[in-house]
Every structure is written in structure tokens, then in C-alpha cells.
Amino acid sequence: MGYEIDKSDEQWRQELSPAEYHVLREAGTEPAFTGEYNHTKTTGVYQCRACGAELFRSDTKFESHCGWPSFFDPADSSAVELLEDRSHGMVRTEVRCARCGSHLGHVFRGEGYPTPTDERYCINSVSLKLAPEEG
């Protein structure tokens, strides 16, 4: 697996908080309705908390009431990597940062949300860092 940002587990542990490490590097999930960006409507860019890559823009964030920040489209389709995830007895699509391979969340399709893509990128707040737009 060749990611542009390739650090050892030890390095990641030093750079990330335990909660960030658990989600980003161990594909954990933050508890629903607890994340800091769950209801955020600030205009700006959501970056990968591990490497700073631009992942999502606030204008694709929508209220899904699922308990995690939800986006209907990545900022750039090459910014994220999608992988089949068969853990927990389900078949889901995992979303990772394409630059550093960190776990972000999952993407669900065809749920009927009134968005242009009918996709819901269900992303952990702890995987993101919001860079608010100036002015």
C-alpha cells in the first residue's frame, strides 16, 4: 500500500490524540451525536486531521440526522479512497484519506436524501479539521 504520507504506527501515536488514533488508524467510530462538527454550518474546508489534505467542503455538508457529519460529495473524488468493508457482518464502503490512508468513515448510497448525488459520506468529526473560510 503506497500512500504519499507513510508514517509508522509509533509516529501516528505521537502525533494524534488517543481518540484520533483510534478512529483514523484503527478504523474506529466516534459515538453518534458527540462529534464536534455534527451540526457545524461554518463555511470552509474540512481537512484530514492526520495529514491536512482537503477532503470535503462545507457546501456539500447536509443534515442527515444520523449522528455524524454528512457530506454528499468529496471536494475532489481523488481526495478519498473507497474500499469494501466486510467487518461487523455488513458489507459497507469504507472511506479513507487517499493521501495518508487514514480511516474517515463510510459512504452510503441510495438512501433517498434530497441531495444531488444521493450519497451520504458519513464521516467522523475526529477525522476532520475544519479550516474556516476567511471573511
User: What are the CA-CA distances from residue 101 to residues 2, 44, 81, 95, 130 (Å)?
Assistant: 9, 23, 8, 9, 19
Beta carbon of residue 47, minimum distance to Zn ion (angstroms, whole number): 8
Lookup result for grid cell 470535503: 56
| 106 contacts 93 by C-beta, under 8 angstroms | yes
Residues forming the site for Zn ion (CB under 5 A): 48, 50-51, 53, 97, 99-100, 102
Of 53 and 130, the one with the shorter C-beta distance to Zn ion is 53
Q: How far apart are CA 73 and CA 89, in angstroms?
A: 26
Of 97 and 128, the one with the shorter C-beta distance to Zn ion is 97
> Strand, coil or helix: what is 13?
helix
Beta carbon of residue 90, minimum distance to Zn ion (angstroms, whole number): 24
Beta carbon of residue 89, minimum distance to Zn ion (angstroms, whole number): 28
The neighbouring-strand residues paired with 81 are 96
Active site residues: 122
Of 54 and 115, the one with the shorter C-beta distance to Zn ion is 54
